[in-house]
Structures are given as structure tokens and as C-alpha cells.
Structure 1
Amino acid sequence: MAVTRYGADGDSIGVEAVSGGGVASLVTVDADEQRLAWVYLSRVVEGPCPALSALIARVGVVEAARAVRECDLPESLRGPTERRRDVDRAERDLELMARIGGRVITPDDPEWPQWRLLGLTQLDPARDADAAVPLVLWARGPLSLQQYTEQALAVVGARCSSGYGEQVTAELAGELAAHGWTIVSGAAFGIDGMAHRAALAVGGPTIAVLACGVDRPYPAQHERLLAEIAETGLVVSEYPPGAAALKHRFLARNRLIAALSDGVLVVEAGVRSGARNTAKWARRLGRPALAVPGPITAAASVGCHRMIRDREAILVTRVDEIHDEVGPLRLSLPAGSEAGADLAGTRRPSSRNCPSPVPDCRNRSPTRAASPSTRCARHWSPSRSPGWSGRTVRAGSAPCERGRDRRVRSECA
């Protein structure tokens, strides 16, 4: 086996090949070589791979990369690595990330959110193959991933959101972000996009976790939104540059949204919504899953109501209730005000413009209209809503055409 030893300067690493009770040899490994090994292995397997992570823990990343290239592997790793072990784009991947202002974050880096991801190591991968720590994380943006996930809340929900859902999201996410909480979401249509916009509108931190490479804006209509997040916040993925957004990657991505947060807040979710999957990951990680109720006639809130009824989520309606469940919230409420009552007025957001709204339903589906209970908001603006005076968030609407609606639900973002 091999034991990794770090040099005092942090730039050189010794890998000691241990046999029995003694050290057989000492091989000096350059830090650049180690980084290239991480990047190479991130392409060899598809997403989380507990078996490869275990191999790296035993022999070190450089030795693991050598074993993969030479197919000197246990049986459990030969299948998962066979297809891509001859593909080594590590140097090109790093060059591409440098061109777009991005970086790769490895478990050897100070920015690695080790504490946040620790919960994934306590889960049984035999129960769920996605229950594993990512090999590396790719990132674009100025925020430190480790620092800005110390106090974070995931806000997720329906793609085909209603005006009610978007207003609630804007109020809650905006106020949390204004008081130092990082808003984590998946940059999808509807609730996800509104959560990011609300944080940006108040100058607060936000992190978008993608199911594709960080160089590929997904959905394409959110290219401007993702560009603004990358400018002031952070866009993160465990998938290498160029990776496409595939169905199974959304399911794996959901665990990262939950793992990087203190809890998960669901605002609107259908029966089969992927937001419920994210809430499930929160529960498995021992973190609170919260849900906002909606009208009992609204199909967009059926998933939230079911989670609340089945005690899979805690009902919340105000910021102070979220605070009670996920931890300390440093609010400075006006003297004499009732805690949690119209918190939108306790701090004025910045006046900078936010990205353009998501596409209008009418332009996406000229021949089909969504049912009244699932129709997206088309022209709602938070600035016209009570308790939202002065905010600059603009809401659009997500595609609601029936075929499209079924497809995005199956992606489970």
C-alpha cells in the first residue's frame, strides 16, 4: 500500500510504498502531478464512484491514476473505468478552466469543503451509488467554496412555478441573503432561478450547482443569470468541462445541493418533483428539510403538502421559522417589530439590475396552454407586490408545455 506524506512547503508530496511493517521506498510527487492525476480521474468515472475514492484513500491519487491507466485494478473498478481510462485531457481541461476564469478544487486544496461533505462519507454506497464524496469540484466565481458554505441554505422547487411561489421565494431567499446566508440552488427555471436572482438583487452570496460542466450554461436561457453568478458568486459542478446535462447527473447533483447547505427549503414541488429528491438527501444527511405550503388547489404545491403531511418536511412560512430550524440568523430587527413579520423592510437591497427573466410561457408553447393550477407567472414583478417595495428582482416564467413539463420533471433538478 502507499501512504501520502506532505512536505512542509505544501508543494511536494512523498508517497511511501509500505510493505508489511516497513517503508519500502519513497517517491517524490510534484503537486502539479497530483493535480493532473485528480483531473484525469475525474473524467475516468461517471460522477461519484465510491470504489475509486476508496482506492485513492488507500494508495494516493497519483498511484491510483497509474493503476487506472495500466488497468491494475480490483474487479470492482475495471468496469467503471474501462471506457475512459485511455482518455487523458487533464492539461487541456486545466487550460480551458484558466481561459474562462475557473478552477478545479481538489481534496488537497484549502478551499475543499471537507466539513460540509463529511456527511456523505457516513452514508452506505451499497444503498445508493450516489452516496459518495465527489472526486473534485469545478468552479467559476470569486467566492471561496469552503468559506461561503459555512452558513448556507438550499432553496429549490418547481420549474413551472407560479407567481405565488416566485414571490415567496424572492421574499425568503432575498432576506436570508441580505443577512449573510449563502443561497444554494440548481439554476433551473422557476424557483431555482428566482432564488439566485433574489440573492443577487440584494448583493448577497449565491452558489449554483450544475449537472453539467461549468463551461456549459444550462439551461441555455439562463446564460446571463449564470454569467452574473460566476461574476459575483460561484458556479460549481463535479462534472468536467464539456460534460452535458444528463438525467442521472441531475439526481447525483441534488445530493451536492443538500450537502453544501445547512438545510433544504422547498417552495412548490409537484408529485414527482426533483426538489423532493433534494429534500430526501437533506434528511439522509441529518439536515432539516423545510417546505412552504401553497393553495390546496395548486398542483405545484402537492409535493410540499405531501412532505409536510408525511412528516418528511417542516412547514415554514417566514424567515424566523427557517432560522429556528437551520441555525442562528443574525438579524437586526427594528425596535418594537414582531419577529418575522414583514422582514422584507429590515434591510434595503442594492439597486443593481439582475439578469433578464426566464422565457415567457407563451413564447415556448404557442399551441398548448398549461392548466390553470400549474400555469407559470408571466408578468409578475416583486416590485408590485406588498412588502417588496424597492427590490429589483424580476420574474419571468418557465416553459409549461405539457411535453416539456414531463421532461424536466424526469430530470429531477
Structure 2
Amino acid sequence: MQGPAASRRPSATELPRSLAPTTAPPHHPGAARPQERWARAALTRVLEPGDEQAGRWLADLGPVDLMRRLTEAPHRHTTDLLPGATPDRMAALRTRARQADPAHDLTTAASIGARFVIPGDAEWPSQLDDLDTARPLGLWVRGAPNLRHWALRSVAVVGARNCTPYGAHTATNLAAGLAERGWVVVSGAAYGVDGAAHRGALATGGATVAILACGADVAYPRGHAGLLGRIMRQGLVVGELPPGSHPTRSRFVLRNRVIAALTRGTVVIEAAHRSGSLVTARAAQRIGRHTMGIPGPVTSGASAGVHELLRGGAVLVTDASDVVELVGAMGDDLAPERRGPTLPRDLLAGETARLLEAMPGRSTDTTAVTLADRVGTSVDAALARLYELHSLGFVERHGDRWRLAASAAPPGETRRGGA
């Protein structure tokens, strides 16, 4: 029989040795609550984003005690289960918890210029607390600006990955207009509407934030590695998951709640009936954020979800002035005179522009393989650029072949900006 010393449970201020910090975690604003920071960083390896059952454990126990419960050996005469957890789930959580290395993750984050922001930090956006038990454990943030300050004046712009040229043009112009008015454009860095929104904000020298369903150091989708680099230099790249984590289908869906809660309102541009963008909009509605939609042609299935959203109480908007009129209550001039639209051709640079120049004349189509060979890049990279050009209205897709769109400017007229 073990004596009291051998069976003693750690006190509430102790951490398992593998988690106990000896110094303040690197690269975070202040050294307050180092044990809580370590525990929350570890739990981002253990728990999936948006796990509401785990959120209740966190509320009852706190991150330090929860992590201890998951790393200490179970008592011999009790199952030592957390409320609602099955033995199999407890075993899986314990395995993850014992493998977690928060010191390594925090050091890795610091090495790439990232920080781990947790509830209670000066930089923590308190509006995320509206998510209650689905609130993030913390956020891994890359980029210089203060996330809390930016989030106070932010709007989400989301929509279809496989958007039409109309959707891409609309997203680009809307984001540019918001950025010109001093608003931060938040989106998910996906192909289609997300990418167009980020580029529209960047093109005006404005502010944009990418909320990822993976680690903040993971370029996903791969074709947006350059775009994510620009966002990090000019804005913020944010993720709930620790460095090196890859996205899954469920992580994409759950990421949308963060976009909805972080911002003052969500605008949906093109969404089919089952689009993930509608998940973001409905999450925004549930927590009392402004929900907006830009209508599309009644004949377009790409806008069917937006029209459904509008019938359900979302506000119809058509441009940045409409959005600012709804979400803006800052007391300053939020709706200056409109400027002309930002044309997508002004956003092309580097490999994207070279690939457009490599396209044959309008009467001839070609393949991604041929274009990759002409430009000197991989087929995957060429496809990513082609989908980008398609979303901006420069090219058309016909099966596995591509051609210049009838309305596209001649390649020689393409102006190179920053993409």
C-alpha cells in the first residue's frame, strides 16, 4: 500500500514536470500567469477547436487543473473520468496530453515571429468570450498589429471557394472599399471569395486578418503561400491550432465561429445552399453580430445560399458604404466619397501575371501542364494560379483545359501590383 507522500495529488498551483515553466514563455506580452499559458498551449495539442464538452471542463477546473487531470496516472480504485467522458475518450486525451510539449510549441512560435494570446491578455479580443464554452483556448498570432485593437473595427467577408467572376470582383471591390474606410477585412484565406477579399484589402494598403483552420505557420491552401506571406507582413495570420497542425474538414467548419465572433459583422458573397460561408453567417446571427449578404443573379446557384440567408433576416448590402452604415458606430466619418472600383488586373504580380501572359489567344485553349512548362513552375502551382485567374474573371475553364475569358484584358495590358 502506498504511503501519503507517494499518492499525494499535486496542489492546485503545481504542474506536471513536463509542463512546468521555469521562465516566462517566449514572445508574449508580459509574463503574467505562465502556468496558465503553458497549460493552454498544451491543451491546443489535446483538444479540438470548439469542443464544448471540453469547454465545460475548462470552466469547472481551469486549464492548469484540467491538464493535470489528463497527465497524472489514474487512481487505482476509481475510473477518474471527466464528466461526460467515456473511458476510451479519456484514454485518447491522456495519450495526447502526455505527448504535448508546450515549451517546444511556444519556442517554435517565437522563432517564426508568432505569439500565443490567451484570455486575460491585454491583446485578447474579449468579444470571443461570446462563444462561451466554444471559446478558443488561445490564439497563435503572426504579425505585428494588436489583434484586439484591429478586431474592434473589423468585418468578415466570406463566400464560395469556387466563386464566379462576379463574386471575385464583388469581394475585391467590397474589401478595398472597407479598407479605404479604415476597416479591417477578416476572412479565411481560401481560394475564391476569401482570397479576393484579402487581396482587395492589401491592394489599398489596408488591414486584413486571415483566420486559419491549421497552424499559423502552415500555408494552406498551398497555392496561397505567397498571399499568406503578404498578409503576415501587412496584417495578421491567426490560428487556434499550434505550429505545424494541419487542417481537417471539421476544423474548417469550427474555424468559422471564430471569424463570426471576432468581427462586428459578416458579409456573404456567393454561397450555395450548403456552403460553409452560411455556417459563419449563422454563427454570427446566434451571437448577435450583424449578418449581411450581397445578392447575385436569381439564375445562379452560386448565390442561392445568400438569397436564403437574406430571406432569413440578413441585411442586403451592395457595397462598402452599405456595410459601414450598418456596422459603423464610431462617431467619425465612416462613409467618405466613393472611389472607382479596384480592378482585379491591378492585383496581379509575379507568377500569376507570367502565367496570364503565357496564355494563348482567346480562340485557343491549353492545359495546366503546358502552362506550367512555359512558366517554369509545378503543375500544382499553375493550377492554383489558374483558379485565381478564373475567380478574377481572366480565364475560363472547359473541363481540364483553360482559355482567356472573352472580357479579359490582353496579357500585355496586365498591370503588376502585389499579389
State the TM-score, normalizing by the size of structure 2.
Answer: 0.72
Residues 363 and 152 of structure 1: is their aligned pair in 2 closer, same or farther, counting only changes over 3 Å?
Answer: farther
CA RMSD of aligned residues (A): 3.6
Deviation at residue 107 of structure 1 after TM alignment: 1.3
CA contact (8 A) 1:291 1:313 kept: yes
Residues 228 and 280 of structure 1: is their aligned pair in 2 closer, same or farther, counting only changes over 3 Å?
Answer: same
Which residue is equivalent to 1:38?
40
Does 2:130 correspond to 1:119? yes
Does 2:331 correspond to 1:331? no
Which residue is equivalent to 1:93?
105
Q: Which runs of 5+ in 1 are unaligned?
A: 5-10, 14-28, 122-130, 335-342, 367-374, 385-389, 395-413
Hey, what's the Cα distance between the residues in 2 that align with 1:99 and 1:47? 24
Deviation at residue 64 of structure 1 after TM alignment: 2.4
Hey, what's the Cα distance between the residues in 1 that align with 2:366 and 2:141? 34
Which residue is equivalent to 1:105?
117
Of 292-301 and 93-102, more deviation after overlay is shown by: 292-301
Q: How does 1:313-352 map to 2 (within 5 A)?
A: 313-328=314-329, 330-331=333-334, 333-334=336-337, 343-345=338-340
Q: How does 1:4-403 map to 2 (within 5 A)?
A: 31-70=33-72, 71=74, 72-77=80-85, 79=89, 81-114=93-126, 116-121=127-132, 132-308=134-310, 310-328=311-329, 330-331=333-334, 333-334=336-337, 343-345=338-340, 357=352, 376-379=391-394, 392=417
CA contact (8 A) 2:325 2:335 kept: no
CA contact (8 A) 2:185 2:208 kept: yes
Deviation at residue 196 of structure 1 after TM alignment: 0.4
How many residue pairs get aligned? The number is 339
Deviation at residue 362 of structure 1 after TM alignment: 6.9
CA contact (8 A) 1:201 1:391 kept: no
Residues 363 and 38 of structure 1: is their aligned pair in 2 closer, same or farther, counting only changes over 3 Å?
Answer: farther
Deviation at residue 248 of structure 1 after TM alignment: 0.3
Deviation at residue 99 of structure 1 after TM alignment: 1.4
Deviation at residue 258 of structure 1 after TM alignment: 0.4
Percent identity of the aligned residues?
Answer: 37
For the residue of structure 2 that corresponds to 1:147, the secondary structure is: helix
CA contact (8 A) 2:349 2:416 kept: no
Hey, what's the Cα distance between the residues in 2 that align with 1:393 and 1:164? 21
Hey, what's the Cα distance between the residues in 1 that align with 2:175 and 2:282? 21
Letter in 2 for 1:215: D
Residues 364 and 311 of structure 1: is their aligned pair in 2 closer, same or farther, counting only changes over 3 Å?
Answer: farther
Letter in 1 for 2:131: L
Q: Deviations over 1:341-368 (max 9, x none)?
A: xx22499xxx9987865998975699xx
Deviation at residue 287 of structure 1 after TM alignment: 1.2
Hey, what's the Cα distance between the residues in 2 that align with 1:82 and 1:136? 20
Bigger Rg, which one: 2
Deviation at residue 184 of structure 1 after TM alignment: 0.4
Letter in 1 for 2:339: A
Query: Which protein is richer in helix relative to its size?
Result: 2
Deviation at residue 74 of structure 1 after TM alignment: 2.2
Q: Deviations over 1:253-302 (max 9, x none)?
A: 01001011111101111222111111111111111211111122222212
CA contact (8 A) 2:328 2:334 kept: no
Letter in 2 for 1:76: G
Q: Deviations over 1:108-141 (max 9, x none)?
A: 3211111x113212xxxxxxxxx61011111111
Residues 272 and 43 of structure 1: is their aligned pair in 2 closer, same or farther, counting only changes over 3 Å?
Answer: same
Residues 306 and 30 of structure 1: is their aligned pair in 2 closer, same or farther, counting only changes over 3 Å?
Answer: closer
